[in-house]
C-alpha cells in the first residue's frame, strides 16, 4: 500500500488507500483513505471516504481530503466528523493557514 506524507507545521499528515466502499459515483467508486496525523499534541487516525477512479494516492486526492475533510465544516456534520476529536480540532485551527497553503500547492 503506497501513501503520501506531508509535513504541516510540526506535524506529519500521512494518507494511504484503505479499501473500496460499496458506493459508486460519476468520478468512480468511493474509496476509504486512512489519514494519520502525528505531531506534538496530536496523534490521530481517521478513515475518510472520497470518490476516486484510482487507489493510488495522488496530490489531488490528498488535496481533497485536506480541503473537504479538515478545512470545510458542513452543517450538522460534527457527529460524523472523523476529525472531531478536540486535540485534532485544536491542531486544525492552529494549522488552518498552512493546511490551506498545502491544498494550493497540491493542486498547482
pTM for this model (two decimals): 0.88
Counted residue by residue, the chain has a size of 108
Q: Nearest CA to 83 among 65, 100, 98, 97?
A: 65
> Tens digit of pLDDT for each residue in 86-104?
899 999 999 999 999 999 9
* Pairing assessment for the beta strands 42-51 and 28-39 based on DSSP bridges: antiparallel
Residue 77, judged by CB atoms within 10 A of its CB (0-12, 13-18, 19+), counts as: exposed
> Tens digit of pLDDT for each residue in 38-48?
999 999 999 99
Check if the beta carbon of residue 71 is closer than 8 Å to that of residue 62. Answer: no
| pLDDT-above-90 percentage for the chain | 67
Amino acid at each position: 500500500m503506497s501513501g503520501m506524507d506531508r509535513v504541516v507545521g510540526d506535524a506529519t499528515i500521512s494518507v494511504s488507500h484503505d479499501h473500496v466502499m460499496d458506493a459508486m459515483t460519476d468520478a468512480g467508486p468511493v474509496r476509504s483513505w486512512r489519514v494519520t496525523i502525528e505531531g506534538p499534541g496530536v496523534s490521530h487516525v481517521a478513515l475518510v471516504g472520497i470518490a476516486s477512479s484510482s487507489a493510488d494516492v495522488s496530490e489531488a486526492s490528498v488535496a481533497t481530503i485536506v480541503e473537504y475533510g479538515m478545512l470545510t465544516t458542513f452543517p450538522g456534520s460534527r457527529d460524523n466528523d472523523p476529525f472531531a476529536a478536540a486535540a485534532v480540532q485544536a491542531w486544525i485551527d492552529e494549522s488552518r493557514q498552512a493546511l490551506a497553503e498545502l491544498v494550493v500547492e497540491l493542486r498547482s
